[in-house]
Amino acid sequence: EAGVVQSPRYKIIEKKQPVAFWCNPISGHNTLYWYLQNLGQGPELLIRYENEEAVDDSQLPKDRFSAERLKGVDSTLKIQPAELGDSAVYLCASSLDAGEAFFGQGTRLTVV
């Protein structure tokens, strides 16, 4: 069974440019999470979806970040415009209801 798939694995962009990350969760998992992991830190939740509904987006900086989960499967996280401080690893995870969360390999973003 395929795990959580994220793309791209690495992305380098100039500041003020837009960027998007894609996540394909494990088949059948209705809950999807986006986490931000800064260097030397633990992951921090950005947004959690139950099916296609964002049920917790309190930590998502809505002035520049947006996310969507169309049809309750794949999800996209977007930053526009990117800032130097957005350089980090963006992790996607999925779970079946409140079960174990499985993580993807992450997308490492570098903003120059």
Chain positions contacting other proteins, by CB under 8 A: 4, 31, 33, 40-45, 48, 55-56, 91, 93, 95, 98, 100-106, 108
Strand partners of residue 37? 89
Query: How far is the CA of 73 from the CAs of 25, 30, 57, 90, in angstroms?
Result: 7, 8, 17, 18
Pick 43 or 111: Cβ nearer other proteins: 43
Closest approach, Cβ 112 to other proteins, in A, equals 20
Closest approach, Cβ 100 to other proteins, in A, equals 6
Phi, psi of 92 (to 5 degrees): -110, 145
